[in-house]
Amino acid sequence: MSTDKTNQSWGGRFSEPVDAFVARFTASVSFDRRLYRHDIMGSVAHATMLAQVGVLTEAERDTIVEGLSTIQAEIEAGEFDWRTDLEDVHMNIEARLTDRIGVTGKKLHTGRSRNDQVATDIRLWLRDEIDTILAEITRLQEGLLTLAEREAGTLMPGFTHLQTAQPVTFGHHLLAWFEMLSRDYERLVDCRKRTNRMPLGSAALAGTTYPIDREATCALLGFEAVSGNSLDGVSDRDFAIEFCAVASLAMMHLSRFSEELVLWTSAQFQFIDLPDRFCTGSSIMPQKKNPDVPELVRGKSGRVFGALMGLLTLMKGQPLAYNKDNQEDKEPLFDAADTLRDSLRAFADMVPAIKPRPDVMREAALRGFSTATDLADYLVRRGLPFRDCHEIVGHAVKYGVDTGKDLAEMSLEELRQFSAHIDGDVFEVLTLEGSVNARDHVGGTAPAQVMAAVIRGRSLIAQR
Ligand code: ARG
């Protein structure tokens, strides 16, 4: 595209047009046009405030506001001609406004700079994204609660080192994910507070000579407060970095959850089935049903961690105030938000459709001496020191390995070889049910505790 007609905005200072490649290289409209709605929202508020303080007439304000709303309709109808030579979303919209309404359009930018404009736009945009993401977290958590309630008494092996450790209930296991998501939710709510501050009015960097009323604009845009320093207002992107950090933690959680789903659907575990609609097949191996959704989510976590590193690196060397470097904040931020939102959405759709296989889980829990700690605890209740009990049970397990018997499968005489303190009532604690029921305290795996945790979870969600 020719650059001749380019950029009236700073034409006065320049004696030759911008190089055509440089124009493309420096343009951001291909990706920042996504901010159009928030850009227009910010401009409407700015024009409204300018009229309130007498910098624009009411008639000028009306013309501007009406012009901007037609432009929004044009964009949404796909009829807007985005021009790379106009560099970014802000100048595209402003130029189109002047096209449509004439000279009044040129007054919109009074007391404002693209520096505070773009900082405002991203914050408005991110605030909306955060709200959508919060709703998806809640939806996923509701799915987990429903499933946990249904599976409160389903027995499975709990693992440490991915080796069978102690029996747990499937409901309890699912609620571990609920807890992590609750913390992700809290972090996001907190990040939203710092995102929801208004830099508009900082202008290029030092503020503006017009008698602007920042509190008025702030109220119109629903920001919680105005930024307290104009230099910081235009240059700071820590809210975006914070969002990526929060998003990284959430993706890390989803990635771990994914890993479990991948394991559990494998032929070796077979703990659960995922419905076909969340899986795909193989073009060569007819038997395959691959857990693509969790695998992709696990893989996509990398993009979000990358966005976090990218933004930290982007900011670390920047002197105050605005630098063009900041134009590079958008793509990682957009991608992180899209990735987290879509991953949560996929999980929120998929989790309620998980089909557990209680028989397989139970069978797996019966292998691997998962009630060995329960036998040790039983002996402690008989008055022996825990370390001695640990050793006694160790011998029993070794005998079990040699004879191919689980603890619960041994006769009383067999068990009594290891300690005369063992009596007939030992079998109550050696069952899976006995084991989980005994862990009956807040945060424990007993089915009754799972039900209590589901109730707590529901009331937590109800308070949002
Ligand atoms: N497209 C720019 C960005 O995203 C807008 C601000 C440009 N400001 C400037 N002085 N060149 O950061």
How would DSSP label each residue in 340-405?
HHHHHHHHHHHGGG-EE-HHHHHHHHHTTTTTHHHHHHHHHHTT--HHHHHHHHHHHHHHHHHHT-
Atom from ligand 1 closest to the CA of residue 114: 6
- What's CA 23's distance to the chain center, in Å? 35
Count of CB atoms situated within 10 Å of the CB of 273: 15
Distance (Å, whole) CA 133 – CA 193: 15
Tokens 């004879």 belong to which residue?
Answer: 403
Catalytic residue among 30, 69, 266, 282: 282
Half-sphere exposure of 89 (CA within 13 A, CB side): 25
Which amino acid is it at 210? Y
Q: Which helix (H) or strand (E) holds 273?
A: strand 272-273
Ligand 1 atom 3, closest CA: 327
Query: From its phi and psi, is residue 69 left (phi > 0), alpha (psi between -120 and 50) or beta?
Result: alpha
Q: Is 390 a catalytic residue?
A: no
Q: Is 161 a catalytic residue?
A: yes
160's CB contacts (< 8 A; 6+ apart) are none
411 Cα to the center of ligand 1, angstroms:
78
- Written as six digits, the tokens of 181 are 């998501």
Per-residue DSSP letter, 280:
B
Distance (Å, whole) CA 437 – CA 443: 13
- What's CA 447's distance to the chain center, in Å? 30
Q: Do the Cβ atoms of 164 and 364 come closer than 8 Å?
A: yes
Distance (Å, whole) CA 411 – CA 106: 92
Catalytic residue among 2, 161, 283, 411: 161
Distance (Å, whole) CA 247 – CA 308: 9
Distance (Å, whole) CA 173 – CA 177: 7
Backbone angles phi, psi at 155, to 5 degrees: -95, 140
Q: Is 28 in the pocket of ligand 1 (CB under 6 A)?
A: yes
Distance (Å, whole) CA 174 – CA 260: 11
Q: Is 237 in the pocket of ligand 1 (CB under 6 A)?
A: no
Tokens 């993009």 belong to which residue?
Answer: 303
- Could you give the 3-state DSSP secondary structure of residue 168? strand
Q: 209: buried, middle or exposed (CB in 10 Å: 19+, 13-18, 0-12)?
A: exposed
Ligand 1 atom 12, closest CA: 327
7 Cα to the center of ligand 1, angstroms:
14
Pairing of the two strands 197-198 and 225-226: parallel
- Written as six digits, the tokens of 409 are 């499968």
The pTM score is 0.95
15's CB contacts (< 8 A; 6+ apart) are none
pLDDT in tens, the chain (464 residues): 334 444 657 778 888 998 999 999 999 999 999 999 999 999 999 999 999 999 999 999 999 999 999 999 999 999 999 999 999 999 999 999 999 999 999 999 999 999 999 999 999 999 999 999 999 999 999 999 999 999 999 999 999 999 999 999 999 999 999 999 999 999 999 999 999 999 999 999 999 999 999 999 999 999 999 999 999 999 999 999 999 999 999 999 999 999 999 999 999 999 999 999 999 888 878 888 899 999 999 999 999 999 999 999 999 999 999 999 999 999 999 999 999 999 999 999 999 999 999 999 999 999 889 999 999 999 999 999 999 999 999 999 999 999 999 999 999 999 999 999 999 999 999 999 999 999 999 999 999 999 999 999 999 999 99
- Written as six digits, the tokens of 102 are 């004439």
